[in-house]
Structure 1
Amino acid sequence: MAGTSVGRAVDQIRRMMRSQELLPGQPLRQEALAERLGVSRVPIREALKSLEAEGVVRHRPNVGYTVTRLSADELQQSSLMRAALESTVLRRITRLSDARLVELDELNRGIEAAAEAADVLRMTELNHDFHFVIFRSSGLDLIVDEIERIWKMTEPYRSVHLYDQAARRRLVSEHRRLIDALHKGETATAISILDAHRDHPAPHSPGAVLPAPG
């Protein structure tokens, strides 16, 4: 789908969420999105259906589509689910190949460059790629697919802390430590680093940080 007009619309709408151009709870008007993205309403409609299936947007009869807005309890549940699933995935990885380690290092260098440039959108995209290179190496595709669903649904909340320079630099540093632990095959250390890494956005996550639009 990525190469189709629908796939491109999905990617562009997702980028608008990552950049906070679209906020949780915000109505999604198909006409406005079509004009903004320079396409007809047909791919927009199909893109919104696809995003609804991911849980990223919600649809209500007589209301239409809105960006999914999660409660504090839902955010806490998503964090607990990620902790359980991501730990399971890491335990399956005994040691990453040299090629994978090089790929992770290159991605983290890109994240560092984006961090120094305060390019949060680019940083968010590369951060996703970094983590899923690790997760996909486990071979536990069904579990990783579920992790990715949770990541997509919570992304607008998780990226907020990256607007802080210290948080951006901390993320890059923790990635280096994670790469080192994976290189040494130290699974318990990698899980511990990932747990701490995951917890940083928590104080910023509840909806108070992302005001209801409108």
Structure 2
Amino acid sequence: MSRRTAAVQKDAAPGTGVRGADWVANEIERMIVTGDLLPGQPIRQELMADRLGVSRLPIREGLGQLASQGLVEHRRNAGYAVARLEQSEFDQIYLMRDALEREVLATIPALDADAVADIRDLGDRVAVAADRGDVLEMRLANHEFHFAIFDRSPLGLVVAEVRRLWKLAMPYHAAYLFDAEVRRRVVAEHDEMIQALADHDNGRLIELMNEHRRGGEAGTGMLLRRTGRSST
């Protein structure tokens, strides 16, 4: 048996087909977004292959995909690591989000009662997680809530770029959500957004999202600046 054949067989899981680079990239992305892998943390290909039960080939290819998206970076003579944002990069992410999300929200069509109810259910998930202080579940539900709105826009390519920008910044969002007052504010702002959707008031929705985004940018940016000072 050739080495290549053995690697392919190792990557085959019963009932799931071959666990290739796309699957690996999704799994590592999930680890980054949930904070299982932290900004700046090295990703050892051998250890990740053992953890995911695959050979090193899909690990290497999956990491290459994530590097092209900016979620990981390849360091010469050191291998791959989770990307760490500089303050200037973080500021640019929010600058782009401000411009793109404004255009996306302006094109949201009038939603019927069922669509609004679906989004309200996601808002309730955020609220429940916030009440019990489950920051990870709150972050994941918050992501679903916002993209349940964004994905209603016909600007699919723009929404895809917004999604990429969210992924880059998401690992930094956990710390400021440990503040119970911040969690309550996020939930209250979601409720106002849902009302704007129900009223078909895109202008109000844009205003609310701008304020909502500024709160996240200020809280997370403060953490990033503190971290940057402590590492120098």
Normalized against structure 2, the TM-score is what? 0.82
Residues 50 and 3 of structure 1: CA distance in aligned 2, closer, same or farther (over 3 Å): farther
Larger radius of gyration: 2
Among 105, 130, 133, the residue aligned to 1:118: 133
- 1:17 maps onto 2:32 in alignment: yes
Contact 1:177 1:193 in 2 (8 A): yes
Please give the alpha-carbon distance, in whole angstroms, between the structure 2 residues aligned to 1:195 and 1:43.
Answer: 40
- 1:144 maps onto 2:183 in alignment: no
1:189 Cα deviation from its structure 2 partner: 1.1
1:94 Cα deviation from its structure 2 partner: 4.0
Contact 1:23 1:210 in 2 (8 A): no
Tell me the equivalent position of 2:178: 163
Normalized against structure 1, the TM-score is what? 0.88
Please give the alpha-carbon distance, in whole angstroms, between the structure 1 residues aligned to 2:41 and 2:126.
Answer: 29
After superposition, the C-alpha distances for 1:17-49 in whole angstroms (9 at most, x for unaligned) are 233232212211112222333443233223212
1:95-106 maps to which residues of 2 (within 5 A)? 95-106=110-121
1:208 Cα deviation from its structure 2 partner: 4.0
1:4 Cα deviation from its structure 2 partner: 5.8
Tell me the equivalent position of 2:7: none
Structure 1 unmatched runs, 5+: none
Among 79, 87, 97, the residue aligned to 1:64: 79
1:164 aligned partner, one-letter code: D
Among 199, 203, 213, the residue aligned to 2:214: 199
Contact 1:100 1:133 in 2 (8 A): no
Contact 1:82 1:150 in 2 (8 A): yes
After superposing the two structures, state which structure 1 stretch, 36-45 or 184-193, moved more: 36-45
Q: CA RMSD of the aligned region, Å?
A: 2.3
State the structure with bigger RCO (CA 8 A, min sep 6), 1 or 2: 1
Please give the alpha-carbon distance, in whole angstroms, between the structure 2 residues aligned to 1:163 and 1:34.
Answer: 33
Tell me the equivalent position of 2:148: 133
Please give the alpha-carbon distance, in whole angstroms, between the structure 2 residues aligned to 1:31 and 1:209.
Answer: 33
1:150 Cα deviation from its structure 2 partner: 0.5
- 1:179 maps onto 2:194 in alignment: yes
Residues 94 and 47 of structure 1: CA distance in aligned 2, closer, same or farther (over 3 Å): same
Please give the alpha-carbon distance, in whole angstroms, between the structure 2 residues aligned to 1:121 and 1:36.
Answer: 21
1:58 Cα deviation from its structure 2 partner: 1.1
Please give the alpha-carbon distance, in whole angstroms, between the structure 2 residues aligned to 1:97 and 1:185.
Answer: 9
Residues 9 and 164 of structure 1: CA distance in aligned 2, closer, same or farther (over 3 Å): farther
Residues 27 and 134 of structure 1: CA distance in aligned 2, closer, same or farther (over 3 Å): same
- 1:54 maps onto 2:69 in alignment: yes
